[in-house]
A and B are shown apart, each in its own frame.
Chain A
Amino acid sequence: DAKTTQPPSMDCAEGRAANLPCNHSTISGNEYVYWYRQIHSQGPQYIIHGLKNNETNEMASLIITEDRKSSTLILPHATLRDTAVYYCIVRSPNTGNQFYFGTGTSLTVIP
């Protein structure tokens, strides 16, 4: 299964865009990139997923590079409630489509 690398922590000013990077240089052509977030002591919350095209929903945008070796999750206008740990996950059919959660990026939104 493709591994992901994320910075352990990031800060973002309230109201600004938060750009969270993820490297997945060994990703295969049939593997999707998923993003979840986890607010302290709660269950992870699904944000967005994509294969190779950029995706946008009401929560965030996902930008995947053309070679698919990295992606960026963008929260366009971060609020204090966006403070959480963000997980980038590559989901592989080779491992039964399981989700493998690493340690993620701890995002702190600063007033």
Chain B
Amino acid sequence: DGGITQSPKYLFRKEGQNVTLSCEQNLNHDAMYWYRQDPGQGLRLIYYSQIVNDFQKGDIAEGYSVSREKKESFPLTVTSAQKNPTAFYLCASSPRNRARTDTQYFGPGTRLTVL
């Protein structure tokens, strides 16, 4: 059935290591997004992509990188340059980014802990 999958649900890494979070959608959505959520806080936008091979920085892109080689996939790499990588990471997708009525649909999230 259709949806957004993120894997793994829990991820542990040592400080200084890069780590890549997976996000896949089979909804045929054009736009995809990555958010970060810290305890007791709202979501903050890291990167978003409106079409394949194109992406834009969000509010907190420093220390992160993304790629969009396929429509259904939008992996996020948390690099060693990210000062506080421990957080809950959420991926979302929507049919089109420009339309005001397009809804974003979220995956289940990946909880990253850096030891």
Q: In the complex, which of the residues A32, A44, A97, A104 contacts B90, with contact meaning CB atoms closer than 8 Å?
A: A44
CA distance A32 to B102 in the complex (A): 10
Kindly list chain A residues whose C-beta atoms are within 8 Å of the C-beta of B44: 101
Number of contacts between A and B (CB, 8 Å)? Answer: 53
Please provide the chain B residues from 71 to 115 with a CB less than 8 Å away from any CB of chain A in the complex. 88, 90, 92, 97-109, 111
Per the bound structure, the CA–CA distance linking A69 and B4 in Å amounts to 34
A43 and B42 contact, CB distance less than 8 A: no
Name the A residues within 8 Å of B108 (CB-CB): 42-43
Contacts of B100 in A (CB 8 A): 30-32, 91, 93, 97
Q: In the complex the two chains form, is B42's CB within 8 Å of A87's CB?
A: yes
Instruction: Say yes or no for B40: interface residue by CB 8 A criterion.
Output: yes
Taking CB atoms, residues of chain B closer than 8 Å to A68 are none
Asked if B64 is an interface residue, CB under 8 A from chain A, the answer is no
Expressed in whole angstroms, the Cα–Cα distance for A96 and B106 within the complex equals 18
- B103–A44 contact, CB under 8 A? no
Q: Chain A interface mostly helix, strand, loop or mixed?
A: loop
Contact B106 A44 (CB under 8 A): yes
* CB contact between A46 and one of B97, B98, B103 (< 8 Å): that residue: B103
- The answer to whether B109 touches A46 (Cβ under 8 A) is no
Tell me the smallest distance from the CB of A27 to a CB of chain B, in Å.
13
Complex contacts, A41 vs chain B, CB 8 Å: 88, 109, 111
CA of A42 to CA of B104, assembled, Å: 15
Q: Across the interface, which residues of A come within 8 angstroms of B107, CB to CB?
A: 43
Cβ A98 vs Cβ B48 within 8 A: yes
A43, B109: Cβ atoms closer than 8 Å: yes
- Docked CA distance A44–B93 (Å): 12
Pairwise interchain contact B101-A32, C-beta atoms closer than 8 A: yes
Does A46 lie within 8 Å of B42, measured CB to CB?
Answer: no
Residues on A with C-beta less than 8 A from B106 are 43-45
User: Would you mind naming 8 contact pairs between A and B with Cβ atoms under 8 Å apart?
Assistant: A30-B100, A34-B103, A43-B90, A98-B58, A100-B42, A101-B35, A101-B44, A103-B42
